């Protein structure tokens, strides 16, 4: 388990600098990139959610691993919202580009909340995990409400 987290951390350190400076040959590439990152993040949030809801048994190592993936993915999609990438294949609202400061603040809040979830997951306290997970869910919902078309 620790080895897997170490590998994930190493990959993150290698990927983030490139993601932050990501340049996409086509707008469609940016859309695919951010949708992929958000999809992977959503899958792992769903796994944690199943534990929080009591649908799956609590396994500290599994929750830690899922949270590590969420933490990594929560850093990636934001560089993939270049102007003009609100295409037909995207659910991004034009408000992202009209209210860039608000959008950036939402992404930073999500990352901060995921950081708190990571601390809670490492503690092994299911109550703390539930509380921190609720904050992550609220961050996701707020961003979707403001910046994602249905």
Q: What is the dihedral of CA 93, 99, 103, 106, to 10 degrees?
A: -120
Pick the more confident residue, 89 or 140: 140
Q: Max alpha carbon distance in the chain (Å)?
A: 45
Which tens digits make up the pLDDT trace of 102-120?
Answer: 999 999 999 999 999 999 9
Q: Determine the Cα–Cα distance for residues 67 and 61; give it in Å rounded to an integer.
A: 10
* Average pLDDT of the segment spanning 126-131: 98
pLDDT of res. 70: 98
Which residue matches tokens 């999609």?
77
In the chain, % of residues over pLDDT 70: 85
pLDDT of res. 87: 81
Contact call for residues 81 and 49 (beta carbons, < 8 A): no
pTM of the model as a whole: 0.83
Q: What is the dihedral of CA 117, 6, 51, 125, to 10 degrees?
A: -50
* Average pLDDT of the segment spanning 39-46: 98
Average pLDDT, the chain: 89
Return the CATH fold of 2-147.
1.20.120
The domain ranges of the chain are 2-147
């Amino acid at each position: 388990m620790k080895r897997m987290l170490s590998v994930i951390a190493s990959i993150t350190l290698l990927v983030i600098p490139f993601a932050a400076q990501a340049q996409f040959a086509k707008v469609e590439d940016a859309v695919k990139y951010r949708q992929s990152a958000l999809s992977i993040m959503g899958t792992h949030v769903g796994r944690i959610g199943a534990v929080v809801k009591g649908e799956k048994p609590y396994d500290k190592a599994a929750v830690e691993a899922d949270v590590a993936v969420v933490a990594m993915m929560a850093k990636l999609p934001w560089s993939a919202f270049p102007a003009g990438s609100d295409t037909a294949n995207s659910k991004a609202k034009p408000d992202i580009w009209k209210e860039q400061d608000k959008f950036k603040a939402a992404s930073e809040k999500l990352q901060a909340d995921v950081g708190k979830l990571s601390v809670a997951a490492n503690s092994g306290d299911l109550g703390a995990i539930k509380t921190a997970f609720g904050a992550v869910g609220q961050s996701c919902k707020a961003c979707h409400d403001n910046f994602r078309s249905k």
